[in-house]
Every structure is written in structure tokens, then in C-alpha cells.
């Protein structure tokens, strides 16, 4: 962990260092950092993707919520508006898709009309609405709105996800859809369905990239999966084996995302 912390301090920007400080000590971020992360939101909530012009994106909004979560800022107006927007984008069958106007620009994991992208976005949006509900319950009776408002959305998402699982526990979508789905199902107390997915993930763990292992472990820990469960123990072992000599972990999206991957590891083992 000392190496990981040193890597973020040396290579991260002000937002990265504020995320690190919050993860380590709970220190509140400076107002200007929060302003930087919240900047650029669409008028009706959510954030556009770099590839999507000015239209808010489910995928991009989930990524921004992850940054705000590390900063302890899911209760701020920008995040609440984004969460409301996410819930409003859910389809009647409990799933999410990007806006149809993004079909030409969207990457494979966000293509409107593609069943694999739909399951991934459903798991991702369902995950962040789940996290928002957890934070609301932890905050006590003065802040119950998020859990109450989004409980129905998460339940519908869990039903949609469970209905897509194959008998062997696999899922017809991208790898990340697996651990996000397992997290959503776990919090909905669909433990058998979640465990089936986790059984598949542990078999795939040796072939996963460090970034995928970090994202998987941090997501499962965030929703309360026991850190001593066999999948998370194996994930930590895999991360220990793949840490670089400079203290960081590589991202498949390029060097500029190495700090983000390293912060995911810190989030997973904090």
C-alpha cells in the first residue's frame, strides 16, 4: 500500500490526490476539487461522454459517480440530480440503454439496441443506485430519500439481471457486467444468483487484467461482500502479484488511467 499511495501522489492530479486522501483518512475534499468533478453536467442530470457530445450518457455518469463516491460526495446536489436522471432513464423492463442518438458514436459496451451493452449498463446503473441507497440508510432518518426512491429501480434491475443468467452462472455480456451484477444481486439478497456469478469470476480471475481485478474487488467490497470471501481473497493475491515496481497497476486504457486503476485497488483493500 505504501507503494500504491506513493504512485498516486507522484502521478495523480488534484482530484486523484483528493480521492486518495478521502479513501485513506476520510478527509473532505477541497471545494474546487468537487467543482472540477461535477463540472459539465447536462441540464437534466448526468454527464455526457467524451464520445457523445452534449447528451448525457449512462456509462459516463456511472464513471463520474465513482469519482464522487471516492470523494464522499454522493449526497451533493449534482450527484443526486444524476442519480435521479439515472432512475428516470430506466426502461419498463428494468433495463438501461444509452440514448438512441448515441448509436453511431457509442463504444461496444454502450451501443443502443445491443443486448450485451444493455446488460452491462443495467448492471452498472443498478450498482450505483444500490450504492446511493446504502449511503442513505447509513446517514440515518434525516436522509432516507435515496434508499426509498431508488429501491424499486434496483429491485427491477436485479430481476432483469437474474432473468439473463444462464444455468451455468455465465451472462451474455461483457466481463464487467458479471461483477456489477453480482454486487446488485448480493444487496438484493439474491445470494444464490450472486454466488453463481462469483463462481464463474474466480475461474476467470487468472486471465483478468489488473484493472479488471481492481474494479471487481472494489465493487464487491463497496456493497458489503465479506473481504474474506474466497473470490476477494484470490483477487487480493492476484493484485499483489501484478503490482509494478513503481507501486502502481496498469490500465488497458493507457497510462493516463493507471492512477485510476491504482485508486480502485486502494478502494478495494482500504
Average pLDDT, consecutive stretches of 10 residues, N- to C-terminus, the chain (270 residues): 96 95 93 94 90 86 94 93 95 95 88 96 97 64 53 94 96 97 95 97 96 96 94 96 95 89 91
Q: What was the pLDDT predicted at 81?
A: 95
Q: What pLDDT shows up at residue 148?
A: 59
For position 209, what pLDDT does the model report? Answer: 95
Report whether 211 contacts 252 (CB < 8 A): yes
pLDDT of residue 135: 64
Q: What is residue 144's predicted lDDT score, i.e. its pLDDT?
A: 45
Burial class of residue 227 in the structure, from the number of CB atoms within 10 Å of its CB (0-12 exposed, 13-18 middle, 19+ buried): middle
The pLDDT of residue 263 is 95
For residue 134 the three cell numbers come to 446504502
pTM of this structure:
0.92
**What is the predicted pLDDT for the residue at 136?**
52
Instruction: Check if the beta carbon of residue 165 is closer than 8 Å to that of residue 190.
Output: no
Closest CA to 236 of 263, 248, 218, 253: 218
Amino acid at each position: 500500500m505504501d507503494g500504491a499511495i506513493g504512485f498516486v501522489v507522484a502521478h495523480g492530479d488534484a482530484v486523484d490526490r483528493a480521492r486518495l486522501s478521502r479513501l485513506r483518512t476520510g478527509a473532505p475534499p477541497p471545494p474546487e476539487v468537487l467543482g472540477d468533478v461535477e463540472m459539465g453536467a447536462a441540464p437534466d442530470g448526468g454527464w455526457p461522454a467524451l464520445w457523445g457530445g452534449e447528451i448525457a450518457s449512462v456509462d459516463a455518469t456511472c464513471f463520474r459517480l465513482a469519482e464522487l463516491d471516492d470523494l464522499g460526495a454522493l449526497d451533493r446536489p449534482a450527484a443526486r440530480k444524476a442519480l435521479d436522471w439515472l432512475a428516470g432513464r430506466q426502461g419498463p423492463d428494468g433495463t438501461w440503454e444509452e440514448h438512441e442518438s448515441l448509436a453511431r458514436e457509442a463504444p461496444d459496451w454502450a451501443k443502443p439496441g445491443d443486448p450485451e451493452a444493455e446488460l452491462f449498463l443495467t448492471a452498472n446503473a443498478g450498482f450505483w443506485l444500490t450504492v446511493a441507497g446504502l449511503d442513505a440508510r447509513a446517514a440515518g432518518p434525516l436522509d432516507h430519500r435515496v434508499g426509498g426512491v431508488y429501491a424499486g429501480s434496483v429491485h427491477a434491475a436485479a430481476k432483469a439481471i437474474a432473468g439473463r443468467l444462464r444455468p451455468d452462472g455465465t451472462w451474455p455480456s461483457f466481463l464487467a457486467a458479471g461483477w456489477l451484477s453480482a454486487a446488485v444481486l448480493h444487496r438484493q439478497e439474491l445470494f444464490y444468483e450472486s454466488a453463481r456469478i462469483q463462481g464463474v469470476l474466480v475461474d476467470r480471475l487468472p486471465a483478468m487484467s489488473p484493472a479488471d481485478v481492481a474494479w471487481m474487488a472494489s465493487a464487491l467490497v463497496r456493497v458489503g461482500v465479506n473481504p474474506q470471501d474466497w473470490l476477494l481473497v484470490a483477487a487480493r493475491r492476484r493484485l499483489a502479484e501484478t503490482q509494478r515496481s513503481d507501486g502502481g497497476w496498469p490500465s488497458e486504457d493507457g497510462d493516463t488511467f493507471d492512477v485510476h486503476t491504482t485508486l480502485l485497488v486502494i478502494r478495494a483493500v482500504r
